[in-house]
Amino acid sequence: MAPVRHLISIDDLDDTDLRSLVARGAAFSARAAGRPGPLAGDVVGIYFSKTSTRTRTAFSSGALRLGAQIIAYGPGDLQLNTGETSEDTGRVMSRMLDVLVARTAGDPAEMRAWAAQDRMAVVNAMSADEHPTQALTDLTTLQGQFGQIDGLRILYVGEGNNTASALALALTRFPGVEFELRTPPGYGLAPSFAARAAEQAARSGARFAERHDMAGLPADLDVVYTTRWQTTGTAKPDANWREIFAPFQVTRALWEASPKAVFMHDLPAHRGEEVTAEVLDGPESIAFAQAENKMHSAMAVLEWCRT
């Protein structure tokens, strides 16, 4: 058995691993991956302390399709709630599980603590600052849609949240990619992620930019991407945040200069807020194919962790 591999951040992947995971996810999506049941005999823990439809179902279904058994934990099931340390939790679970897929929406340091052992792989299914498996899903979708990621022109519109952070770290690895974010003032990408993305872009030959207005948008885009404005259970610091976000709604007007662009959304979507129903449900939208690719990408990640 190969050494245990963790996926807490896109930064945990080198360029070869990143491209390999994207290619493998695309192969699963195309039903061309082969090797049925590579995780037969494994047990995968699925721990979600926050709500999830797509990611939880994707990893559960993906693990079962690869031949593993799963154990699901809810937010009140672990002794973390009674004071057990994260380190001790990881040490115990590593003696019973082969992989732990976890969503905490908190500090990723907790997942790093679980990963401080060499028996169980740990996969970040979303933390407060980054959503690495969403980025892998998105790149898998782009690979299937366009046949390559190099050279794509992608516009991200909306809050600089954990999805945007992971996308910035992933897309700037690919030569010729032009990745531009338009984020509301005060709701941009975290400076540490922006700095890392800019550094990677300079190294790879990609282009990375961020602005806080919707003037002078780029033309001839391949992709327009957005995410929901308000995550369940969170609140914006500004009482008038909807007014701040309103100019960043994705509407059909964005296709006037980019008629061939596809629309992507990590879902769930709020029609009439971050995107109009006309766009989300229109012919340009590949959002629901993107959602299906969560499972195919999850299978690639689980396989990579264990083989």
Question: Per the structure, how many domains does the chain have?
Answer: 2
Kindly report the CATH number assigned to the domain that includes residue 224. Answer: 3.40.50.1370
pLDDT of 1 higher than 60: no
Instruction: Domain of residue 252: give its range.
Output: 134-291
pLDDT score at 137: 98
pLDDT score at 106: 78
Residue 75 lies in a domain: yes
Residue 93 shares a structural domain with residue 141: no
Residue 3 lies in a domain: no
Residue 111 shares a structural domain with residue 156: no
The region that residue 275 occupies, defined by phi over 0 for left and psi between -120 and 50 for alpha, beta otherwise, is beta
Residue 1 lies in a domain: no
Measured CA to CA in angstroms, residue 60 lies from 68, 176, 235, 263 at distances of 9, 35, 29, 27
pLDDT tens per residue across span 131-176: 999 999 999 999 999 999 999 999 999 999 999 999 999 999 999 9
CA-based nearest residue to 134, from 148, 123, 122: 123
What is the DSSP secondary structure assignment for residue 93, as one 8-state letter?
H
Residue 106 shares a structural domain with residue 174: no
Residue 63 shares a structural domain with residue 31: yes
Collect all residues with Cβ–Cβ distance below 8 Å to 228 and sequence separation of at least 6: 268, 269, 270, 273, 274
pLDDT tens per residue across span 266-287: 999 999 999 999 999 999 999 9
pLDDT score at 2: 64
Strand, helix or coil at 162? Answer: helix
pLDDT score at 108: 87
Residue 5 lies in a domain: no
pLDDT score at 218: 97
pLDDT score at 235: 82
CB 207 within 8 A of CB 174: no
Residue 108 shares a structural domain with residue 18: yes
